[in-house]
Amino acid sequence: MSLSLQQKLMDISSLTSKLLRKSFGRGPESCFAFANERFLVFYIRGFMSPLESTLLENGNSDNIDISRNIVMKTVLNQFKGILELEFEQDIESFYHDWNYQQNTGMITVQFENVVTQFVDRNQGAHVDLKPLIDEVDRISVLVQKKPEKTEAYFISPKIYIVKRDGILVRIEKALIAKGFEQTLMVTKDELEKSYLHRDGRFEEIFSNPIADILVDWDFHEDSSIICFVLK
């Protein structure tokens, strides 16, 4: 990774923390940015307000999800122009997810074209990406259906992402059309993560313990990002 890219990622991490603080009233304890290929991934720690902690203690994580989604739309709208200017690339989509139990989260930005390629994803990864794709497909079938397209990417030695396209089944599309997008999002989040954690053979594939599995969907594009964070 070039020094200029490293500096750019540090600056953008700092800016992200400031944007989150401005919108949520408090910033994360730490925010690290990683980039490779068409992706920019932020891994965030320590980002829970006292109100959210109270909601979580009372089993109201769905309410935290709903309120965060609303505020994140504003954050990402502000963020879009800054990142497109900085990386000189248009953004295709944003994804974000939070693990409230561990007080961690991710924001993943997908650009329309490659922004950096500091390492060959197969040589540098030391992990065969084919079994990772197969395992994600297997879990996807258990929860909904096999994606029309699944791709895996090495982002950093501790972060891998899997992008799925064409995952929604007809009933889900009908619910979205009827305005039940938020309910579907919360339900899929809970269901799919339970399968990924319980049934996934990911530690075996990575030969490493998993610190975090974060998932988000873009229902309008019928796509999803899974972010694997290794210990």
Quick: pLDDT tens for 153-167: 999 999 999 999 999
pLDDT in tens, 32-85: 999 999 999 999 999 888 888 888 888 777 788 888 888 888 889 888 999 999
Name the nearest CA neighbour of 143 among 190, 206, 175, 104: 190
pLDDT value for 51: 80
Work out the average pLDDT over 13-26.
88
pLDDT for the residue 27: 85
pLDDT at 121: 46
- Look up tokens 């709208």; give the residue: 77
Ordered domains of the chain (ranges, CATH): 3-111 (3.30.980), 129-230 (no CATH)
CB 201 within 8 A of CB 209: no
Q: Which residue has the tokens 């020094």?
A: 3
pLDDT digits (tens, 9 = 90+) for 108-152: 999 999 888 765 544 455 788 999 999 999 999 999 999 999 999
Q: pTM for this structure?
A: 0.90
Task: Tell me how far apart the alpha carbons of residues 33 and 149 are, in angstroms, rounded to a whole number.
Answer: 26
Could you read off the pLDDT of 180-229 as tens digits, one per residue?
998 898 889 889 999 999 999 999 999 999 999 999 999 989 999 999 99
Q: What DSSP character marks residue 183?
A: H
